[in-house]
Amino acid sequence: MTSMKVAITGSRGLVGTALVARLADAGHHVLTIPRDSWNGSGFHLRGVDAVVHLAGEGIASGLWTNARKRRILDSRVESTGRITEVCTRDGVATLVCASATGYYGHRDDEELSEESAAGLGFLAEVCQQWEGASHAHPSQALRVANLRFGQILSDHGGALAVQQRLYRFGLGARLGSGKQWMPWIALDDAINAILLALDSDLSGPVNVVSPGTCRQAALHELLCRKLNRPRFPVVPELLLKLLPGGFGRELLLASSRVIPQQLAQRGFVWERPELASALGLRN
């Protein structure tokens, strides 16, 4: 990549921290945007070549009360609309905006590419409004890429770190039947996908997932193997469905067989295309 000035929101999160380090190591000028600073009248992005917008209320860090669901939605839609407005006003060339595979909702065994329709449910609605806000101020000068991330796997943070702690305490389990498809991506590959979006003409939705699709039961088996824990625990589907606000149905039981069509067409090379390698295991 030619040296760029890149502004990043959500720079203290798992992805943001890794991205800042990679860009800085490559000699780019990185500007971190603190949470809510974009609300001020003096906020500007003049001189910035690209923005990577990662900020948003954590989806899996607490049960879904009505108030929490409102924060999840508002934190994404309002901030994205504001960032897009300022990008358009200040002549930023590229906006890489996070989204999620929750866009597709529960779809059983259907293969889902970027051309697939949106699903139903709270997460699908959040993702539609989130992506819509990034196109609320259309400009031919601003290229927008909406990266629909699967679960990002890293030992250093995010959902996998939480899951591994549970397994170490003997609380890991298969979730319901375990047949639900679970889209995922290794952290290094997620960062490489962002770099590709910054340094190409990618625009619109991009599924940032591994080609090595897997079911939840496969993740359970591999985590048991990695952490030397028994494989028999199962959390009944009925119990998960009782979690408030649809948390269990949409985050733990929903099946989304998402394929990375756009990345594959661009010749993207995954460093960790299989789940075992992403978990640090040999096949």
User: pLDDT tens-digit profile of 201-259?
Assistant: 999 999 999 999 899 999 999 999 999 888 888 999 999 999 999 999 999 999 999 99
Look at residue 157 and tell me whether its pLDDT is greater than 90: no
* Tokens encoding 154: 């890293």
Question: Which pLDDT band, with edges at 50, 70 and 90, does 9 fall under?
Answer: very high
More confident position, 281 or 269? 269
Residue 14: per-residue pLDDT: 94
CA distance 105 to 136: 23
What local confidence, expressed as pLDDT, does residue 170 receive?
84
> What was the pLDDT predicted at 283?
63
Tell me the per-residue pLDDT of 87-127, one tens digit each, with 9 for 90 and over: 999 999 999 999 999 999 999 999 999 999 999 999 999 99
Cα(259)–Cα(118) distance, rounded to whole angstroms?
Answer: 15
Checking if the pLDDT of 36 tops 90, the result is no
| 55: pLDDT strictly greater than 90 | yes
Residue 76 has pLDDT above 90, yes or no: yes
The highest-level CATH class for domain 5-152+185-209 is alpha beta
pLDDT at 40: 80
Output the average pLDDT for the chain. Answer: 94
Q: For the chain, what are the domain ranges?
A: 5-152+185-209
Structure-token match 């699903």, residue found: 119
How far apart CA 223 and CA 246 sit, in angstroms, is 25
pLDDT at 118: 97
Q: Cβ contacts of residue 123 below 8 Å, gap of 6+?
A: 59, 100, 102, 103, 105, 250, 251, 254
Q: Report d(CA 80, CA 182) in Å as an integer.
A: 26
Per-residue pLDDT reduced to its tens digit, 172-195: 899 999 999 999 999 999 999 999
Q: Is it the case that residue 5 has pLDDT exceeding 90?
A: yes
Percent of the chain whose predicted confidence (pLDDT) is above 70: 99
- The CB-side HSE value for 262 (13 A sphere, CA atoms) comes to 25
